[in-house]
A = this chain, B = another copy of it.
């Protein structure tokens, strides 16, 4: 998971989003624990309080359940919820970008070209 400190999206939300993605991808499975607040903070070079905030939000969403002495346990219903949410947010993100492009007067052809170029960018960046 990568954190972008300059991204206007708050870091704690980036962390939450990262966990959601990981659950959707099956990296963390129901019954397993996600990394502890301290471990995560260390891994991301971020203050533990910030990770804490992210985890609290995930608990409110029901993706994860905090168990004393155990950690944050991935819930049973988590995966469907996460996957659903990921797909939804994906579509919304695309729609926003496309809307912006249209209001700048770009044609669908031009936008599609940028979309394909973006794929090339992500592949070049080492995300096969």
Contacts and interface: CB of A to CB of B under 8 A. Distances in A.
A21 B108 contact: no
Contact of A17 (B10, B93, B100, B106): B100
Interface string A61-103: 0000000110000000000000100110011111101111111
B101 A90 contact: yes
Given A8-B10, A86-B104, A103-B21, A98 B69 contact: no
Nearest to A23: B104
Q: Is the interface of A mostly helix, strand, loop or mixed?
A: helix
Q: How many copies does the complex hold?
A: 4
Instruction: Give the residue among A22, A68, A87, A127 with the most B Cβ atoms within 10 A.
Output: A87
Contacts of A125: 95, 99
15 contacts: A8-B13, A18-B103, A21-B103, A21-B105, A24-B105, A86-B101, A86-B104, A87-B114, A90-B97, A90-B100, A90-B106, A91-B118, A93-B97, A93-B118, A115-B115
Interface of A: 1, 5, 8-10, 13, 17-18, 20-22, 24-26, 47, 68-69, 83, 86-87, 90-95, 97-106, 108, 111, 114-115, 117-119, 121-122, 125, 127
